Amino acid sequence: PERRRSAPPRVPKEKAKGEAAPKPRQAPTDEAQMAAAAALARMELRPKARLPSSQDAIKNQVRRELMAEAAASEKGLAAEEEDLASPGQAGAAALSVSGVYFICPLTGAVVKKDKKEKHIREAIQAYFSVDPVAASIMEIHTFNKDREKVRVGVETMAKYLDNIYLHPEEEKYRKIKLQNKVFQERISCLEGIHRFFQAIGFETKTLPVPGQGKKSQQTTEEYYVLQEEMLTKLEDLKDYKEQLLSSEPVRAQLDRQLCVFKPSPEAARFELPNDFYNLTAEEIKREQRLRTEAVEKALMLRTRAMREKDEQREMRKYNYTLLRVRFPDGYILQGTFYARESVSVLYNFVREALRDDWLPFELLGPGGLKLTDENLAFNECGLVPSALLTLAWDAAVMADIQASGEEQPASSLKPELLSRVQTLT
Q: How far is CA 53 from CA 50, 275, 276, 326, in A?
A: 8, 23, 21, 28
Domains, the chain, with CATH or none = 102-253 (1.20.58.2190), 256-299+316-424 (3.10.20.90)
pLDDT in tens, 169-183: 999 999 999 999 999
Distance between CA atoms of 154 and 54, rounded to whole angstroms?
A: 22
Which of 45-49, 52-56, 191-195 is most confident? 191-195
- Extract the runs of DSSP E, i.e. beta strands, from 306-357: 320-326, 332-338
- Of 94-98, 157-161, 269-273, 305-309, the one with minimum mean pLDDT is 305-309
User: Binning pLDDT at 50, 70 and 90, where does residue 66 land?
Assistant: low
For the cut 70, the answer to whether the pLDDT of residue 196 exceeds it is yes
For the cut 90, the answer to whether the pLDDT of residue 195 exceeds it is yes
Cβ(359)–Cβ(411) below 8 Å: no
Q: What is the largest CA-CA distance in the chain?
A: 112
For the cut 50, the answer to whether the pLDDT of residue 331 exceeds it is yes
Distance between CA atoms of 359 and 10, rounded to whole angstroms?
A: 29
User: Can you give the pLDDT at residue 78?
Assistant: 44
Helix 60-73, helix 116-127: angle, nearest 10:
110
User: Binning pLDDT at 50, 70 and 90, where does residue 340 land?
Assistant: very high
- Of 32-36, 114-118, 139-143, the one with minimum mean pLDDT is 32-36
| CA dihedral of 302, 303, 308, 310, whole degrees rounded to 10 | -30
- Extract the runs of DSSP E, i.e. beta strands, from 229-354: 253-254, 259-261, 320-326, 332-338
More confident call, 302 vs 147? 147
For range 236-253, the mean pLDDT: 96
pLDDT in tens, 70-85: 555 444 444 444 443 4
DSSP string, 365-385: -GGG-B---TTSBTTTTT--S
More confident call, 85 vs 298? 298
Distance between CA atoms of 395 and 359, rounded to whole angstroms?
A: 11
Q: How far is CA 32 from CA 14, 26, 181, 307, 310, in A?
A: 18, 12, 65, 17, 19
Backbone angles phi, psi at 228, to 5 degrees: -60, -35
